[in-house]
A = this chain, B = another copy of it.
């Protein structure tokens, strides 16, 4: 008799953004005349840059001719893309990352959910609180998180590292020693960043205690300040303790195109086993590569034309971020983030819970953000607003919030 994986049954509620989407859909159905502005899920709105469109058309044409048609991709991804990433993303930052340490995938969401699979179920994870829900939920599904406390909204076997105004939303090294440490900078959801010296402390700590850091750098393109690291491999010793996750979703608008990559350095040994080999085995067995045409689009991100166009695109969103930050501040909110990240993190007014503020904003201003509590208990009384809307919608959203 078949049985289900009952870890799934422990998950409280549905995936955060599914709940947000449902609430918005219900509101729209009840209020078809209202113009809802969505600054919630971190989804971009600007079209793909011309250099990317051009490369997609070219690759599509190749797929239409027998001489240039491509079937299954190499397990790790096409060499042309892996070499380009090593050359253009890592070398200029002084990071020693080679092409064959880069695994191309369909995005950082899949990778951040799947990476836990190569580790023992006995390993204990530490996460920032608030945190991108996929890190925790994927570990819940695997059975690594113990039992759920409905009142505290925490898992018994997860080490939570509160990220609050008091610590500038940067977690402190926890008292209990974790085995796997999830770090995300620039941070989703808080928009906070970490200085290179602070990140070096984490690397030193992980090497000392034998922990592995899973470093999510999906938002690195939004870094505007000089002493904020773009990659964990800017830190000394990171090659022996850190895996890095990267995305094309935010730097190039690929949320609906699906492309990302994960770096597993060959020096990264756990129990005397190279994690590189394990991840390669997972990739080869459970995945069949990102589409050829999309890997070509990824390559175009690094062309001179692509780089110039995408700098403009990132600047466009960062102009929104500044507008949101300043607008909310003027409206009397306590805000952070938005300088090295496309997210502004605000403290809800009065004693409102995050979801109360979500409903209030949806109903009164027809603006959708994301409740901070959906990212973890320390996110309660906070709220995330993203900068990925159009400039016009962003201006209008702030106008409506100010008018409340």
Contact = CB atoms under 8 A, between A and B. Distances in A.
A2 B212 contact: yes
A3 B271 contact: yes
Interface string A272-291: 01010010011011111111
Interface residues of A, number: 83
Given A14-B281, A72-B41, A120 B6 contact: yes
A390 B287 CA distance: 26
A3 B119 contact: yes
A15 B284 contact: yes
Interface stretch (A43-51, A80-88, A146-154, A396-404): A43-51
Contact of A69 (B47, B69, B73): B47
Contacts of A4: 118-120, 270-271, 273, 275, 278
Interface string A50-69: 10010011001101111001
A171 interface: no
Interface in A292-323: 292-294
A289 B258 contact: yes
Query: Which of A2, A44, A134 gathers most chain B CB within 10 Å?
Result: A2
Nearest to A287: B110
B72 A43 contact: yes
Nearest to A75: B18
Interface string A90-115: 00000000000000001101100110
Given A47-B64, A63-B47, A288 B53 contact: no
Contacts of A290: 258
A11 interface: yes
Given A6-B120, A6-B271, 13 more contacts: A2-B179, A3-B122, A4-B120, A18-B75, A47-B63, A47-B69, A53-B64, A56-B293, A70-B256, A109-B288, A141-B285, A256-B291, A256-B292
Interface of A: 1-6, 8-9, 11, 14-15, 18, 41, 43-48, 50, 53, 56-57, 60-61, 63-66, 69-73, 75, 106-107, 109-110, 113-114, 117-123, 133-134, 137-138, 141, 179-180, 209-212, 253, 255-258, 270-271, 273, 275, 278, 281-282, 284-294, 390
